[in-house]
Amino acid sequence: MTETDALRPFHNLSPDAILDAVEQAGYCCDGRVLALNSYENRVYQIGLEETAPIIAKFYRPARWSDAAILEEHRFTHELNEMEIPVATPLKDSQGETLLRSGPYRFALYPRVGGRAPELDNPETLRQLGRCLGRMHNVGAVREFRERPAIGLEEYVIGCREFLLAGDFVPADIRPAYAAATEQLIHRLSDRLRLLVECRRFRLHGDFHIGNILWQETHPFIVDFDDARTGPAIQDFWMLLSGDRPYMTARLTELLEGYTEFRNFDPLELQLLEPLRTLRIIYFSGWLARRWDDPAFPRAFPAFNTQRYWQDHILALREQLALIDEPPLEWHDWT
């Protein structure tokens, strides 16, 4: 891989290259290519002759191994076999789902429509809970072998070291960032010991509103690219924000649906804010690692500014306090 390939991994992925890849997979394209909202990978809607468009997802080079991508694909196929509505890659004539064209690996998906779910609607939350319960029943059959578990090293320690080794955090507030993250590492190391006591299994890993398409009466789940092994609460906390009473009400509705299909261990509620903290730190590290990709400065212009880092440090200090608060309460009355 050349230096340009490493810094700008999609610079050769032209519209012609995209269409050639899809046609090599056996589809007749009509020339339409629409870029969709994706940064880690590149995702396009491809027009086909005399049939509905399909979605082409080109994987970021060197992020996941082939084996890790195929684990994701197998997981979604297992879910699909249980009639759980998730985005599942199409198979080619040889039954393969991970395809190649030049230096790129890609997968093809049916196009699926939907809208954002209404998270203030109790029945929507119960439906999401039911969906998660069914997903987790399938996920719990085994752990991933090729994909990492959620943990402190990848999400916090590695990101902190990368940020402090570079020129991302302004010099005048680097000490504040270093101190806040060091405190959090000590606090999180203690809190995350609970992971050992929790049942861990295959998860979506990135279960937020942007990866949920609402279709009339049920959700359709997309983008398993961040699938990991972890505790059930990882797939809940991104749907929980706001003040404590509001989060408690949302959690109650989610778990009412979830427990129709699967038990939930209330002990995991102690992990909610620690897992949120992992994500906050990881997100900044992710942006920094991808900053040489031209798509990132365009999409995240506020990153790497003085104001961004001031707000980030404030958020970290708030998480220090939240981690020490009692967990949300939930009572299983069944």
Residue ranges covered by each domain of the chain: 3-110, 122-323
Count of Cβ atoms closer than 10 Å to residue 27 Cβ: 18
Both tokens assigned to 54: 């399909």
Q: Select which of 5, 20, 92, 206 is catalytic.
A: 206
Separation between Cα atoms, residue 312 and residue 306, nearest integer Å: 10
User: How much is the pLDDT for 175?
Assistant: 97
Helix (H) or strand (E) holding 230: strand 228-230
| Angle at 272 (CA atoms; ends 306, 64), nearest 5 degrees | 70
Both tokens assigned to 102: 């030049």
CATH topology of domain 122-323: Transferase(Phosphotransferase); domain 1 (1.10.510)
User: How much is the pLDDT for 4?
Assistant: 46
The DSSP bridge partners found for residue 108 are 56
Instruction: Tell me the C-alpha to C-alpha distance, in Å, between residue 167 and each of 156, 162, 171, 179, 310.
Output: 18, 10, 8, 17, 15
Q: What is the torsion angle, in degrees rounded to the nearest 10, for the CA atoms of residue 232, residue 235, residue 236 and residue 238?
A: 150
User: How much is the pLDDT for 3?
Assistant: 43
Find out whether 144 and 224 touch, Cβ atoms under 8 Å.
no
236 closest CA partner among 224, 218, 245, 248? 248
The DSSP bridge partners found for residue 34 are 45
Separation between Cα atoms, residue 231 and residue 191, nearest integer Å: 14
Active site includes 206? yes
Q: Give the chain's residues under pLDDT 50.
A: 1-4
Both tokens assigned to 143: 């752990």
Instruction: Tell me the C-alpha to C-alpha distance, in Å, between residue 305 and each of 155, 167, 180, 267.
Output: 22, 11, 18, 39
* Residue 296 DSSP label: H
Active site includes 324? no
3-state secondary structure of 326: coil
Amino acid present at 124: T
Compute the residue count for the chain.
Answer: 334
* Residue 153 DSSP label: I
User: How much is the pLDDT for 74?
Assistant: 98
Q: Which CATH class name applies to 3-110?
A: alpha beta
Separation between Cα atoms, residue 116 and residue 242, nearest integer Å: 18
* Residue 199 DSSP label: -
Q: Burial level of 285, CB count in 10 A (0-12/13-18/19+)?
A: buried
